[in-house]
Chain A
Amino acid sequence: MNPVARTVLQRLGLGLVTLFIVSIIIFSAIAMLPGDFAKATLGQSATPETVAAFQREIGIDRPPVERYFVWVAQMLHGDFGSSFASRTGYRRTVAEIIAPRLYNTMFLAAVTALIAVPLALGLGILAALYRNGWFDRLVNVATLTTISFPEFFVAYMLAYLVISRDTFIGSDFAQTLPHWLTVSLNWALNAVPKFPTLSNVNDQTPFWEHLWKVALPAITLTLVIVAHMMRMTRAAIINMLASPYIDMARLKGMSPMVIVLRHALPNAWAPIVTVVAFNLAYLIVGVVVVEVVFVYPGIGQLMVDAVKSRDVPVVQACALIFAATYILLNLLADIISIATNPRLLHPR
């Protein structure tokens, strides 16, 4: 069997095992949480009988092991179960609650990735090419600055910048500045597009409007993740530049650009894609703060709300989606690492 296919299958199998273990951990962690959906919903005054009846209705009176297997069995059939918010005659499935939210999250993640990954790779390659020069230092300082601020701060600053566009000229602050400075600052601020500061979308929002509305969250997230990927790209390439075959390329009269792109980069993909995968996973599982700032209906907010209302099936499904995202993206990174290694791709 082709060794690449074998390794990929191995990793895939390992990923499934990991997912299974994670599902146990998620289930037990949530089962151990204090509080009870029935009591929380029915309030302090509910009689034990009402609580018991309600528990029976949503199925949490069963022993945990049984509930776990029912949950897993349902999921294997593609059924994520019903939300605890369902009522008789009004069933709300977890899938229908999560689907639009997941789409929104994926949409934002994809937009951000399309900006951030090429930007990070490009900056990383250029920084490696002009290493220790002024460009390299500038890029490093700039990306480190943006990564050092908390993301909600970056988000609010961006929103403030967009708002200032209209309010600056009339503000008291503008009056205290010299006239020429006020004019040029106003001119600069007017160059900023009038991005919406609220990303309130729903399933009726047309594609282009959706894209327009996620501009600010996407820029915020880009600023947050670019530094990590860019620095790894730079470091991986510079690491390769110490190899004897790079010396050889120099002695063959190759230009620095050719050396970096043709001789160093193809050997540096493995560490780069690992970091890219890590950051992409973050875009899906870690953006709740940015969602809150821009009021964007993503899956992060959904999970926080579900935890607040103890809607266990939704929480479990979200947690499992997050775990699967991590596993899948890391699997993808592994496969790319293998596919860019000629030793594995072309065995002797």
Chain B
Amino acid sequence: MKSSGPGPREKGKDLLQIRNLHVEGFSDERWHPIVHGVDLTLKRGQVLGLIGESGAGKSTIGLAAMGYAKPGCRITQGSVLFDGIDLLAVSEKGRRRLRGSRIAYVAQSAAASFNPAHRLLEQTVETAVAHGLAGREEANRSAVDLYRRLQLPEPETIGFRYPHQVSGGQLQRAMTAMAMACRPDLIIFDEPTTALDVTTQVEVLASIRNIVEEFSTAAIYVTHDLAVVAQMADRIMVLRHGRTVEEADTRQMLASPSQEYTKTLWAVRKLAKPEVPADDYLLTIDNVTAAYAGKVKVLQDVSIKVPRGRTVAVVGESGSGKSTLARVVTGLLPPISGSISFAGQLLPTSLKTRPKEVLRRIQMIYQMPDNALNPRQTVEEVIARPLEFYLGLKGARRDRRIGELMHMVEMSEDFLERLPGELSGGQKQRVCIARALAADPELIICDEITSALDQIVQEEILKLLIRLQRELGMSYIFITHDIATVRAIADEIVVMHRGKVVEQGLKSEVLTPPHAAYTERLLSSVPEMNPDWLTRLLASRKI
């Protein structure tokens, strides 16, 4: 395995030149500009990172590099010159010949981008066979070779599985194999690791970087994660609202960004609340074991204490049982054994047997506000419901309280008449927070509530939560897989792995060595802004 850093590499001629690219998207009955005149040049074998918040147009530019606009989008101006061919001027048939064979694409969600009806191998070799670049036999052999190079388990047989039969990290590598099948000159990676756990992400990043180096494939790497792009790219281009902010070599960009906007992006990850030790405990979870209908135990003998007025961050990868813990505390999933006491009293295990007053004191905020808000209810109706249900507020008193709550989550009362569809992601999450606050709770369970948001919006939401806690004194159980979020908000940390608590304690204790083995692995997998981080990590793990 080669593991040289993304240092200076042999650079060839210009492979891709995008000039004055304009793209529009159709929404609310009219065309809106998404990308305003972006220029981009990529040399053979070079990896360019495109970075920005959502709505910056980075994925759109990535797709435009293949001469493709998503349904509902159109390229209105500019040229995309790939190896001398103008992809916007050539016929659709001409573009089809290039796609898959000379320019390939790796999508964000491999689970959604693999066709559920076909085996992985069929999909991997499809392009090579359809474009007549290889016979079926030869293509199959080459695919197995790629699976092996990408460190997929059982490379000989994994291709005969269906997409739902392999894990997310494996699928993402299989998709990279699919992109590599025709040995393209250029691959567009569109947030390939965003949906993965940090521990899985490291492995996928390493696989992708190795194979791109091995075949000296040029790549455009689209992501919103600075630390990731620092590992993968030779050059970085920062985008905002469909315009280029700045572009430079990776090291230079990380060391001394010239634009104000880039500096704010770089600064986001530095938010950190000082921890406060506990004086009194609100919630005590004692030896809880839980399982879904007759299946394997998802929680095994879990004991956690939540201090009053503090934040306990529950960290772990997917499948660690952290969301199940939330379901047990809220009463959605009664545990098999163990007990939970809240404010000194034993909590009835099932939701149905809990009195309304207990329900009121424990509230929950979800990861996806889109799913948690009724799309047909206005913001006012959403917040009014718990006020009426739990507190029996009516008329003017209720309306005054709604105004106060909106003020607390820093939203103007103008939003009250809006429907969730007319709000941004961050605003929706604020409405969810206001709804939870309306019940005047003592404990709020936050399940990955910032992971669907951009880093800048994330930071605003975290600051809001910290301020609300300081003013109102409720406790948070903050479930997340993101260590930066943990640093930002936690007083205490619980590390979970495969349904068990691996480590727990004050933030400073858990985050400073010596760690439990799993904590060590988790913490070391969190990408750092240093471009040599991945190389060093892989070197240290190989020993």
Chain A positions near chain B (C-beta within 8 angstroms): 242-245, 247-255, 258, 262-263, 266-267, 340, 342-343, 346, 348
Contacts and interface: CB of A to CB of B under 8 A. Distances in A.
A252 B99 CA distance: 5
Given A242-B71, A244-B107, A247-B70, A267 B116 contact: yes
Nearest to A265: B117
Contacts of B101: 253
B399 interface: no
Given A343-B164, A346-B165, A251 B68 contact: yes
Given A254-B96, A263-B115, 12 more contacts: A244-B109, A247-B70, A248-B113, A249-B115, A250-B99, A251-B68, A252-B99, A253-B100, A266-B117, A266-B118, A346-B162, A348-B165
B114 A252 contact: no
B34 interface: no
A248 B107 CA distance: 8
Contacts of A251: 63, 66, 68, 99-100, 104-105
B130 interface: yes
Contacts of A249: 115
Contacts of B60: none
A251 B190 CA distance: 12
B178 to A, nearest CB: 8
Contacts of A263: 115, 117
Interface residues of B, number: 32
Given A252-B126, A253-B98, A348-B164, A342 B117 contact: yes
B126 A254 contact: yes
A267 B100 contact: no
Contacts of B131: 253
24 contacts: A244-B112, A247-B107, A248-B115, A252-B100, A252-B104, A252-B127, A253-B95, A253-B96, A253-B98, A253-B101, A253-B131, A254-B96, A254-B100, A254-B126, A254-B130, A266-B115, A267-B115, A340-B117, A342-B116, A342-B162, A343-B116, A343-B164, A346-B161, A346-B164
B97 interface: yes
Contacts of A245: 112-116
A262 to B, nearest CB: 8
Nearest to A243: B112
B249 to A, nearest CB: 29
Contacts of A252: 99-100, 104-105, 126-127, 178
A263 B163 CA distance: 14
Contact of B164 (A247, A262, A342): A342
Interface of B: 63, 66, 68, 70-71, 95-101, 104-105, 107, 109, 112-118, 126-127, 130-131, 161-162, 164-165, 178
B122 to A, nearest CB: 9
- 6 nearest CB pairs, A to B: A253-B99, A266-B117, A253-B100, A252-B100, A244-B112, A251-B105
A253 B127 contact: yes
Contact of A258 (B66, B109, B130): B130
Q: Which of B99, B104, B115, B162 has the most CB of A within 10 A?
A: B115
A64 to B, nearest CB: 44
A267 B112 CA distance: 13
Contacts of B96: 253-255
A342 B98 CA distance: 31
B65 to A, nearest CB: 11
B164 A250 contact: no
B117 A253 contact: no
A245 to B, nearest CB: 4
Nearest to B99: A253
B162 A244 contact: no
B70 to A, nearest CB: 7
Nearest to B128: A252
A250 B63 CA distance: 11
Which of A244, A249, A251, A267 is the most central at the interface, judged by chain B CB atoms within 10 Å of its CB?
Answer: A251
A252 B98 CA distance: 9
Contacts of B116: 245, 267, 342-343
A258 B68 CA distance: 18
